[in-house]
Amino acid sequence: MSSHATVIIVIVTKDDFNSLTQSFTKYQMSENDFKIIHWKYFYPFNQPYTEFSVGDVVMFAGKFVVENLEQHIAVSCACVIVSNDPDHEFQAEEIPLSIPHSMFLVLVTREPKEHGESTYFDAGCCLYNPCMNSKNVHMKLRIFYPTNTSRYSYLRANNSIKTGRTFVVSGFIRRMTSDFTIVELTDLDFVSNSVIKNVQTSFSSVASDNRSDIDLITEDIELTTSRAPKRPRILASRSSKQGASSSPIIDESAASFSSSAAPINTIPKTVQNQKDKKKLSDLALNCLEQPVMNDTHDDDVYAEDVSEGDDDLELLREQDLEVQQNKRNKKSSKRVKK
């Protein structure tokens, strides 16, 4: 998360290097109340930079972090207010009063609570400290503002500050304790999550519209496996031996289906209509159809050799019985003649 601060300071010490200068400085919060800041100023690349010396009164603006109760500022902008002889020591009355004014992107960790004439809430943020090269510096903030001021009446009326919400807060650094950095609120900006949600929703809908054939096939297979009844097996003959009008034979050993199921004779038509299609989904759907009997089998096992059905079988049985009966009658007639 980002942070920012502006403060007027007096340069106490200064160590110069090739690409930066750094050391310690102090600012006066109130009369004779000085605070120390560790500062670091990186020289702008291929651009002129601000020169200042020990004893100068300078305004610093840059990234502000509190780590282990120590204040750090990575200076982005420096403006010399008073240039002074390094041997001259400023008196307190010569140094302007200044309090670091900071800006943080924070996450609320405790909802507002009133105490006296003030309302406060707790928040936190994680920062990188360029001065010490420290990562994930966790700053705990206790942010307060006057309860009855008209400036922040909307916060109380709308119950806006809630745990888990994100805000950009600006304020003065008033105090630092082992638990919190105390910030006097000067401004609060809402960070709406609707923008992120809209982007995620938009991306999600676009992604669903761009699903591949394999995704759609997988989804269709899962639904078919979990809900649809098992298909009956179709024994179809070769087109050269069977007329187009002949109906396929249903293998009764396969799972039976209800009368509400789709007509059986539509399945071969579906297969026939898909012969000219070359899409991956069509090929996969063809593979899902029950296989046609292989041509390598004996011709005697083709469906046309047994396509007469139950009526034909019954006729054969009757003819066989008639032949056997005729034989018996002939034998009986021979015995009578003898």
pLDDT tens digits for 212-232? 443 444 454 445 555 555 554
| Strands, E assignment, 191-318 | 234-235, 249-250
Q: Centre a 10 Å sphere on the Cβ of residue 306 and count the other Cβ atoms it contains.
A: 13
Q: What's residue 313's pLDDT?
A: 62
Q: How far apart are CA 220 and CA 103, in angstroms?
A: 53
Phi and psi at residue 26, to the nearest 5°: -140, 155
What does the DSSP 8-state code read for residue 97?
Answer: B
User: Interior CA angle at 43 toward 21 and 40, to 5°?
Assistant: 40
Tokens encoding 79: 């403006």
Domain architecture of the chain: domains with CATH: 3-100 (2.40.50), 102-194 (2.40.50.140), 232-306 (no CATH)
What does the DSSP 8-state code read for residue 93?
Answer: G
DSSP 35-57: EEEEEEEEPPTTS------TT-E
Tell me the angle at which helices 280-288 and 213-227 cross, rounded to the nearest 10 degrees. Answer: 20
| Strands, E assignment, the chain | 3-11, 15-16, 20-30, 33-42, 57-67, 70-82, 101-115, 118-129, 134-146, 166-176, 181-190, 234-235, 249-250
Mean pLDDT is highest, among 130-139, 220-229, 304-313, 329-338, for 130-139
Q: What's residue 123's pLDDT?
A: 96
The pLDDT confidence band at residue 192, using thresholds 50, 70 and 90, is confident
pLDDT tens digits for 91-128? 777 788 999 999 999 999 999 999 899 999 999 999 99
pLDDT score of 161 more than 80: yes
User: Could you tell me the CA-to-CA distances from 104 to 107, 165, 235 in Å, in that order?
Assistant: 10, 14, 75
CB 82 within 8 A of CB 42: no
Q: How far apart are CA 46 and CA 109, in angstroms?
A: 43
How are beta strands 181-190 and 134-146 bridged, if at all?
parallel
Q: CB under 8 Å, gap of 24 or more: what pairs does 297-303 form?
A: 302/237, 302/238, 302/241, 303/235, 303/236, 303/237, 303/242, 303/248, 303/249
